[in-house]
């Protein structure tokens, strides 16, 4: 029997640290070759780590949420034969010892699972009679019970004590953990008060999102601009194209049209399709239009990038958007697919509301938000007519984009969308 050690692989260019997101195995599990053992994440790409060997898991190198150095030990597997690891010998070979991994601030060693979902192993189901305790009366419990309650995030004053003198026993905690509602008391109206709380560690993608959003809001001088667009003509064109080519070329959503409008408008507004490096004090105006498509994944917001939107046809862009959105939703988008956008488009579809204030996807300087399309009575030439109306809510980095330019850019998009032919007439 030997030991095989899998080290944290280098999954991004020049990335020294990788966050461990999730384990799919635990110590003692038998794994087979190519089985995925963990998810790790850099920047915004989540990568699955498979095992190249079969064997038994001996040790895990970190906790979910821990930031680990590339090259540090990720998992140790007992294998048939020699393995790749010998006690002592590896020290010289691997200068980046696992200890480096936990070098930053003490990571709360919180388990990622919610506390209320603790194993429901309480053998007996006790009647949840509530022992009345005075408001400021100290719950009676031994130090071991108190410590266990702290660790599990339980307020002991909500726990019934079944021991002598109302002492809270370990069994009482078992019951409390198994029945998260035992401590609720029915109010006269039949509704129950809830005092349970679920603590969710901010790790993985959520932590990245939190950092990026905080950073964007702190650095960028946001301003938002909302304009109303008459989509009737474009919708007629879209329905026509879908009817004619839908079967052969795929259905078109609004997004490829919006992308096309942004591409065409950007030609006259290079300051909008730009990125701003505020540390180097440098604005880069991009010829290419790489459009970030904000996408809701299972775990949170991702922004996959439609590359060279200026070169793609309507249908080519449509199918690429659809492919990217699926990859992002399933957390399988590559790092390349998640970076390098020059402007971002965000749409909540039917949930779009009437206006929104999108957050600029730094280092970009503009983000175009799409609101819900509805039929409204409009006055045209003194007549009330029903038109399909939709708002665009867009935000800009006011440090480098003037209000006038932003307004003109959106007005250009409006003109293009309201006269759809102009989208394609060069």
Partner 1 sequence: MQNLTTTLLIIGGGPGGYVAAIRAGQLGIPTVLVEGQALGGTCLNIGCIPSKALIHVAEQFHQTQQHSQQSNLGIKVQPPTLDISQSVAWKDGIVDRLTSGVAALLKKHGVQVIHGWAKIVDGKHVEIDGQDIRIECEHLLLATGSSSVELPMLPLGGAIISSTEALAPRSLPKHLTVVGAGYIGLELGIAYRKLGVEVSVIEARERILPTYDSELTQPVAESLKKLGIQLYLQHSVEGFDAASNTLQVRTENGEQLPLATDQVLVAVGRRPRTSGFNLESLELKMNGSAIAIDARCQTSMRNVWAIGDLSGEPMLAHRAMAQGEMVAELIAGKQREFNPTAIAAVCFTDPELVVAGKTPESAQQDGLDCIVAQFPFAANGRAMTLESKSGFVRVVARRDNHLIVGWQAVGVGVSELSTAFAQSLEMGARLEDVAGTIHAHPTLGEAVQEAALRALGHALHL
Stretch that binds partner 1, among 140-148, 271-279, 320-328, 332-340 (CB under 8 A): 140-148
Smaller CB separation from partner 1, 150 or 424: 150
Reading the block at residue 349, the tokens are 């579809």
Stretch that binds partner 1, among 68-76, 145-153, 202-210, 382-390 (CB under 8 A): 145-153
Instruction: Please report, as residue ranges, which positions from 166 to 185 form the binding site for partner 1 (by CB under 8 A).
Output: 166-167
Q: How far is the CB of 102 from partner 1 (least distance, A)?
A: 6
**Beta carbons within 8 Å of 192's beta carbon, 6+ residues apart:** 181, 184, 185, 186
Across-strand partners of 367? Answer: 344, 395
Stretch that binds partner 1, among 159-167, 229-237, 363-371, 387-395 (CB under 8 A): 159-167
CA-nearest of 411, 410, 400 to 222 is 400
Q: Looking at 86, 117, 150, 385, which residue binds partner 1 (CB under 8 A)?
A: 150
Q: How far is the CB of 38 from partner 1 (least distance, A)?
A: 21
Q: Are 338 and 43 in contact (CB under 8 A)?
A: yes
| Residue 212 in contact with partner 1, rule: CB under 8 A | no
Smaller CB separation from partner 1, 72 or 361: 72
Stretch that binds partner 1, among 2-10, 161-169, 244-252, 364-372 (CB under 8 A): 161-169
Reading the block at residue 286, the tokens are 């991009």
Stretch that binds partner 1, among 12-20, 133-141, 249-257, 368-376 (CB under 8 A): 133-141
3-state secondary structure labels for all residues of 341-409: CCEEEEECHHHCCCCCCCCCCCCECEEEEEEEEEEEEEEECCEEEEEEEEEEEEEEECCCCCHHHHHHH
CA-nearest of 387, 386, 388, 391 to 372 is 391
Task: Mark whether 4 is an active-site residue.
Answer: no
Residues in the chain: 426
Report the C-alpha gap between 365 and 398 in whole angstroms. 8
CA-nearest of 91, 99, 86, 76 to 4 is 76
187-199 b/e (C-beta count within 10 Å ≥ 16 → b): eeeeeeeeebeee
Q: How far is the CB of 127 from partner 1 (least distance, A)?
A: 20
Instruction: Please report, as residue ranges, which positions from 87 to 106 form the binding site for partner 1 (by CB under 8 A).
Output: 102, 105-106
Instruction: Please report, as residue ranges, which positions from 298 to 357 form the binding site for partner 1 (by CB under 8 A).
Output: none
Report the C-alpha gap between 289 and 361 in whole angstroms. 15
Q: How far is the CB of 177 from partner 1 (least distance, A)?
A: 15
Q: Looking at 2, 83, 114, 153, which residue binds partner 1 (CB under 8 A)?
A: 153
Q: Are 200 and 114 in contact (CB under 8 A)?
A: yes
Q: Are 229 and 267 in contact (CB under 8 A)?
A: no
Q: How far is the CB of 123 from partner 1 (least distance, A)?
A: 23
| Residue 190 in contact with partner 1, rule: CB under 8 A | no
Task: Mark whether 398 is an active-site residue.
Answer: yes
| Residue 138 in contact with partner 1, rule: CB under 8 A | yes
| Residue 403 in contact with partner 1, rule: CB under 8 A | no
Q: Residues 245, 286, 308, 398: which is the catalytic one? A: 398
Smaller CB separation from partner 1, 201 or 420: 201
Please state the φ and ψ torsions of residue 15, each to the nearest 5 degrees.
-85, 125
Please state the φ and ψ torsions of residue 229, each to the nearest 5 degrees.
-125, 135
Q: How far is the CB of 109 from partner 1 (least distance, A)?
A: 6
| Residue 143 in contact with partner 1, rule: CB under 8 A | yes
| Residue 108 in contact with partner 1, rule: CB under 8 A | yes
| Residue 157 in contact with partner 1, rule: CB under 8 A | no
CA-nearest of 405, 420, 424, 361 to 229 is 420
Across-strand partners of 282? Answer: 277
| Residue 132 in contact with partner 1, rule: CB under 8 A | no
| Residue 151 in contact with partner 1, rule: CB under 8 A | yes
**Where on the chain is the footprint of partner 1 (CB under 8 A)?**
102, 105-110, 138, 140-143, 146, 150-151, 153, 163-167
Active-site residues, by number, are 398, 402
């Amino acid at each position: 029997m030997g030991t095989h050690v899998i080290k944290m692989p280098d999954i991004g260019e020049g990335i020294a640290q990788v966050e461990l997101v999730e384990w799919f195995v635990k110590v003692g599990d038998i794994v087979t070759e190519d089985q995925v053992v963990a998810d790790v994440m850099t920047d915004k790409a989540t990568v699955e780590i498979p095992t190249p060997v079969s064997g038994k898991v001996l040790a895990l190198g970190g906790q979910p949420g821990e930031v680990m150095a590339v090259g540090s030990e990720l998992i140790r597997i007992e294998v048939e034969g020699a393995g790749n690891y010998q006690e002592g010998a590896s020290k010289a070979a691997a200068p980046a010892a696992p200890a480096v991994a936990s070098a930053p601030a003490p990571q709360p060693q919180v388990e990622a699972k919610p506390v209320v979902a603790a194993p429901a192993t309480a053998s007996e189901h006790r009647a949840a009679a509530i022992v009345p305790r005075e408001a400021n009366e100290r719950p009676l419990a031994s130090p071991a019970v108190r410590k266990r309650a702290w660790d599990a995030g339980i307020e002991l004053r909500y726990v019934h004590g079944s021991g002598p003198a109302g002492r809270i026993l370990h069994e009482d905690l078992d019951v409390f953990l198994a029945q998260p509602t035992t401590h609720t008391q029915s109010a006269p109206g039949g509704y129950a008060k809830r005092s349970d709380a679920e603590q969710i560690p901010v790790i993985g993608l959520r932590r990245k999102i939190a950092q990026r959003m905080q950073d964007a809001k702190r650095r960028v001088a946001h301003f938002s601009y909302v304009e109303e667009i008459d989509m009737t003509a474009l919708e007629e064109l879209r329905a026509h194209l879908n009817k004619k080519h839908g079967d052969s070329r795929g259905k078109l959503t609004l997004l490829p049209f919006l992308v096309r409008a942004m591409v065409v408008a950007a030609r006259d507004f290079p300051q909008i399709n730009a990125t701003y490096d505020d540390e180097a004090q440098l604005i880069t105006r991009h010829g290419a239009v790489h459009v970030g498509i904000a996408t809701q994944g299972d775990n949170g917001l991702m922004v996959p990038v439609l590359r060279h939107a200026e070169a793609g046809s309507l249908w080519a862009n449509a199918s690429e958007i659809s492919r990217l959105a699926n990859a992002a939703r399933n957390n399988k988008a590559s790092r390349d697919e998640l970076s390098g956008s020059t402007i971002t488009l965000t749409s909540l579809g039917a949930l779009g509301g009437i206006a929104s204030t999108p957050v600029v996807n730094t280092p970009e300087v503009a983000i175009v938000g799409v609101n819900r399309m509805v039929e409204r009575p409009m006055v045209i030439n003194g007549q009330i007519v029903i038109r399909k109306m939709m708002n665009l809510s867009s935000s800009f980095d006011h440090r480098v984009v003037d209000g006038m330019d932003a307004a003109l850019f959106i007005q250009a998009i409006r003109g293009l969308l309201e006269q759809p032919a102009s989208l394609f007439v060069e």
